[in-house]
Structures are given as structure tokens and as C-alpha cells.
Structure 1
Amino acid sequence: MINDSTEPMKLEAETVITTFENYGEAWGLYIGLTLLLAGLVWFSFRKQHFLLKWLLTSIVLAGALCFGHPAEDVETYSPLILNTMVELFDGNKEQFFSDIQFIAMIWGILFLFGTAVWLLICYLRKGNKEGAPAKQKENRRVEQKESTQEEPKVSERSSEKKPIEPTIGDDV
């Protein structure tokens, strides 16, 4: 008879744990905060090389945005990194390593994709500079001559300086 009285309580607790009213809004807020964190990491390392910034930012994105079911027979999702920590604390090492491998695989794909896009952009920019028609090159030469003839004041020069983003091959 004791089992009969605790049965409804158990079902109610499972319902509260697996579903809640603001599930979509919670995920929206979580994804927004994750993107904010990734932006802060990127901004913190803004003077560093692109690959270092992308490495750290992609780790944050992959770690936070992989999702999985928190338990068997549960329809909702939660961040996989949280599920992984619960598996570790519960002593389920097989599932822990499986989750870590999945997160690492997603990070690797994300990092390689971002690096490939960056290299493609660098290649296209370099190609545009080298492959410019002769008329554009002549116009640049004339503009450079005019700019060297008129020496700007020291205060004007310092305000016009822009930081230069390092690229692959700068160290050569």
C-alpha cells in the first residue's frame, strides 16, 4: 500500500523534471549567453592571431552548444557538457568518454571549417591585390605620389593609424 501512495508523487516529479513551461525561452537565453561569451573571448584576444582567437572561441561554442538527452526516456534536451559532468559524478565512465569524444569531434569539425573559410578569404584577398588591372595599379601609384607630396601633421597621422591583423606568413 505504501507503493500506491508514492506512485503519483513519483510521476509528478518526473513530469516537472523533464518538461517545464519556459523550455524554449530557456534554450534561447542559453544560446544567447553562449554567443555573448564567445564574443567576449574573441574580444579579449582581439590583438592575437586569428587562429588563437578561433581556437578558444570554437572551444566555447562546441562545448556549450552540443546538446543531448539528460537521461534515457526523456524527450527534452540539455547541454551535453552538463550531462557529461553528471555522468562523471555518477561513475559512468563509458558514457562520459563517449560524450567527450562527441564534443571533441564537433569542435574539430567547427575549428577546421572556420580555419578553411579564413584561409579561403585570405587567398581571395591576396588574389585581388595581385590580380588588379594595370589601370587600378596606376591609380594607386598616383594616389601614393600625391599623399607623399603632402606631408600630414603628426597628430593627423596618429589618428589615421589602424591596427594590422597578423596573417599566416607574417613571421617569414
Structure 2
Amino acid sequence: MWTQEEAVFEGNYYQVRGAINQPKSVQKPHIPLLIGGGGEQITLKLVAQYGNACNVSGSLETIQRKLDALKKHCETVGRDYEQIHRTVTLSCMIGETDEQAEAKIPTNLPGRAAILASSLVGSPDTLRKRLAKLEEIGVQEVILRFPDVLNLDMLRFFARELIV
């Protein structure tokens, strides 16, 4: 679809005839591919083979393990790991203190500990430290989800404290 006027594809499960993608991408041969997902055997292997960027999530330890798996796949296929832009997506809850931020997650919520481990939760100082650790392990971009996105005071607080 990036190179033909009308694309044709015949696969095992899907067929496409006469698909049109206009306007064409200015990048040649195609737009950069960001592959999201953390499957260590298949998805990250596909990133090593075809991706320009990846997006994973999880706790710091999980993200490290996934980036290590990606690095191994890159070695196997002969790809420079540094050519792949590495991103993560995390939920973010910020407060004046760690306790204030953590209080935004109900204490009786199933999986609360896992949510805390795989999110960016805490005071501005705690968030800065967690972001620094992500950078240390090789993350180059963080995509944030704000569950309470309509709380403009929280977004302004985040911007004032963390965006320079």
C-alpha cells in the first residue's frame, strides 16, 4: 500500500484487492514501523527483523527483560539494536507525596501491587528517579497515560514539575 497505486494481497486469512492508500508516505520505502507488544519470542523478534521502533510496558524489571530479549533477537538477525527506537507506555499518577499519588489507586483494587510496579506513581522526585532508571536501561521515549486526564490541576502540576 505504500508503493503501489492499488494494492493486492493474497494471504492465508485475508485478501485485499484494489486497496488505495493516498497520499503516499514521503519516507521511502515506507513509514517507520513502531511495533507495540512485549512477546519475547515472536513480537520482539518481529521488531528486530522489521521494526523501526518498539513499545513495551510493565515493571522496570519486565521492561529490562524485554529489552534484553530484543537485543538478543537483534544479534541473531544481524541488526544493530541501537537502530531501534525504544518506547514504553505507562500510566501516571502524580501527587505532592508518594502516599498522595498512591492513594489515587484504590487499596482494594485487584492487582494493585502490579499496577503500582508498572506505572509511574509518586511525587515529582519519585517520578524523576523512575524516569532516570528507565533511561538507564535503554528506554528512549515514555508515553504517558493519565487515568484522571480531566483533572487539569494534576496535569498542570505534572507539567510544572516535570516538563522543562
| TM-score range normalised by the length of the shorter chain | under 0.3
The normalised TM-score by structure 1 is 0.25
Q: Which has the higher strand share?
A: 2
Q: TM-score, normalised by structure 2?
A: 0.25
